[in-house]
Copies of this chain bind each other. A is one copy, B any other.
Amino acid sequence: MNLALIGVGLIGGSMALKLKQKHFVSKVFGVDFNENHLAEAKKLNIIDEISDLENAVKNSDIIIIAVPVDATKNILPEILNLISDKQTVLDVGSTKSGIAKSIENNPKRNRFVATHPMWGTENSGPQAATADAFAERAAVICDEENSAKDALDLVKKLYENLEMNLLFMNSEDHDIHTAYISHISHITSYALANTVLEKEREEDTIFQLASSGFSSTVRLAKSHPEMWVPIFRQNKENVLDVLNEHITQLRKFKSALEKDNFEYLEELITNANKIRGILK
């Protein structure tokens, strides 16, 4: 089976490496705006041939779109125009409702499967790709009822080869849950980095003192705007909801401290500790 990989960065690259290793796909055509990434992906054996979009799509059984979510919205109708009823397209983006809506009346809608493998790092590009990134993690398939059965089955098989645990939900629920579980963590982390960069002028001290706690809280702040601005844009309403709640929660800590109300502070912390029971 041939694969067209649209976007040869961290996510697409990691998928292709594993799918080749498992012999789920044989030949991989790589398409990307970034020529350095293409050359790098070829060198790393992530892709077998550098191609333009049309050639890659025409010669592939399965097409993975692994580009920022705004680019996905633009390129998906173009790809659906190019394919036959024997081909399958999936995206792997972090937002789902906008993309779903943009193609709801497309005659080839049922050749598309909307997915989101829940993995990523603060790094990007093909050199950050790794074959075993996805194993044992969750992958979400959205609006399965809008995909043809054979397309859906193929994508399920693809995720089995990535050794991921499949979950099913509709696009709207997906976007609400990821606002809580992923998008707000990024905003918090960015804001924390900006706080420290604004107030702590002694960079050497940050570097020398930064404990593992700080590093893990601020790790996501290294994530690039090319990926994250489009995610926040597409999931704006949900992200704003959660962000407002987060600011409210921070104000409770502020108020407890300002009023020397340490019983209330303890209550807030004890409540937060409940996350222990939910996360391993």
Q: Which of B208, B244, B275 contacts A138 (CB 8 A)?
A: B208
Task: Name the distance in Å between A70's Cβ and chain B's nearest Cβ.
Answer: 10
Q: What residues of B have a CB within 8 angstroms of the CB of A247 in the complex?
A: 247, 250-251, 254
Contact among B181, B197, B222, B266 for A225, CB-based, below 8 A: B266
A92-107 CB mask vs B (1 if < 8 Å, else 0) is 0000000000000000
Q: Does A221 touch B at the CB level, under 8 Å?
A: yes
**When the two chains form their complex, are residues B199 and A229 in contact, meaning their CB atoms are under 8 A apart?**
no
Residues of B within 8 A of A197 (CB): 271-272, 274-275, 278
Contact B268 A239 (CB under 8 A): no
Residues of chain B within 8 A of A167, CB atoms compared: 208-209
Whether A81 sits at the interface, judged by CB under 8 Å, is no
Q: Of A12-20, A22-30, A147-155, A188-196, which binds chain B? A: A188-196
Cβ-based interface call for A257 (8 A) = yes
State the CA gap A187–B257 with chains docked (Å).
11
Chain A 194-205, CB-CB to B under 8 Å as 1, else 0, gives 111111101101
Q: Are A180 and B199 in contact (CB under 8 A)?
A: yes
Asked whether, in the complex, the Cβ of B243 is within 8 Å of the Cβ of A250, the reply is: yes
Do residues B190 and A184 form an inter-chain contact, with CB atoms below 8 A?
no
Q: Does A216 contact B (CB under 8 A)?
A: yes
* CB atoms of A245 and B211 under 8 A apart: no
Given A208-B165, A221-B272, A225-B269, CB of A184 within 8 Å of CB of B192: yes
Copies in the complex: 2
Q: B195 near A210 (CB under 8 angstroms)?
A: no
Contacts A191-B250, A207-B278: A182 and B214 contacting too (C-beta < 8 A)? yes
Q: Is B279 in contact with A199, judged by CB distance below 8 angstroms?
A: no
Nearest-CB distance from A82 to chain B (Å)?
Answer: 30
Q: Which residues of chain A from 233 to 260 have a CB within 8 Å of any chain B CB? A: 233, 236, 239-247, 249-254, 257-258, 260
Q: Which residues of the other chain, B, contact A71 by a CB distance below 8 angstroms?
A: none
In the docked arrangement, what's the CA distance between A187 and B224, Å? 25
Q: A209-B140, A241-B199, A269-B228 are in contact. Are A236 and B250 (CB under 8 A)?
A: no
Residues of A within 8 A of B (CB): 118-121, 137-138, 140, 165, 167, 177-178, 180-182, 184-200, 202-203, 205-225, 228-229, 232-233, 236, 239-247, 249-254, 257-258, 260, 262, 265-266, 268-276, 278-279
Given contacts A180-B195, A185-B214, list 16 more A-B pairs with CB under 8 A: A119-B211, A180-B206, A181-B209, A189-B217, A191-B250, A191-B272, A195-B245, A197-B271, A199-B241, A199-B242, A206-B278, A206-B279, A215-B279, A229-B265, A240-B254, A246-B250
